[in-house]
Amino acid sequence: MISTSIAGFKLKHAGQDDVPVILDLIKGIAVYEKLSHEVVATEELLMKNLFGKHRYAEVVIGYEGDTPVGFALFFHNFSTFKGRPGLYLEDLFVYEEYRGKGYGKALLLYLATLAKERECGRFEWVVLDWNQPAIDFYNSLGAKQMKEWIITRVDGEDIGKLAAKF
């Protein structure tokens, strides 16, 4: 466990034993974002992709005492312009009943510390345009929205359709 400046709140880099907790937190953020119907993650998929031969992402879990209350799932990307890796925050979530205590901020600041230690050229994430509390929170920490960039995505069966064009 990693101590924080918040009494009783600690961070832990997730291990294989934490997969059920990670899945519960994923389901929690899906409820918050009204996207529960899109969750297809399973403990088996998380075990394979977070702790298997290829580790595609990392997770830090926040604990109040012994209770998991939030998490950050992140991975490295790469900036061609900077010639360095970046840290990409996929999800940051704290259960509603634990919000307002600084836990989300602690998770985000810890990731900023990791990005600095790992000599990342960028630390970035996206936020849903309707999530004004999150936008305000990120702005208060000095983050800037990149309004000139548009997220482009191909997912699900469309990946196979696109690949078939090769």
138 is catalytic: yes
Contacts of 160 (CB under 8 A, 6+ apart): none
* Alpha-carbon gap, residue 131 to 32, rounded angstroms: 10
106 near 94, Cβ under 8 Å? no
* Candidate list 63, 88, 103, 138, residue with the active-site label: 138
> What is the DSSP code string of 53-104?
SS---EEEEEEETTEEEEEEEEEEEEETTTTEEEEEEEEEEE-GGGTTSSHH
> How, if at all, do strands 122-125 and 9-13 pair?
unpaired
- Could you tell me which of 60, 55, 61, 119 has the C-alpha nearest to residue 87? 119
Q: List, by residue number, the catalytic residues.
A: 138
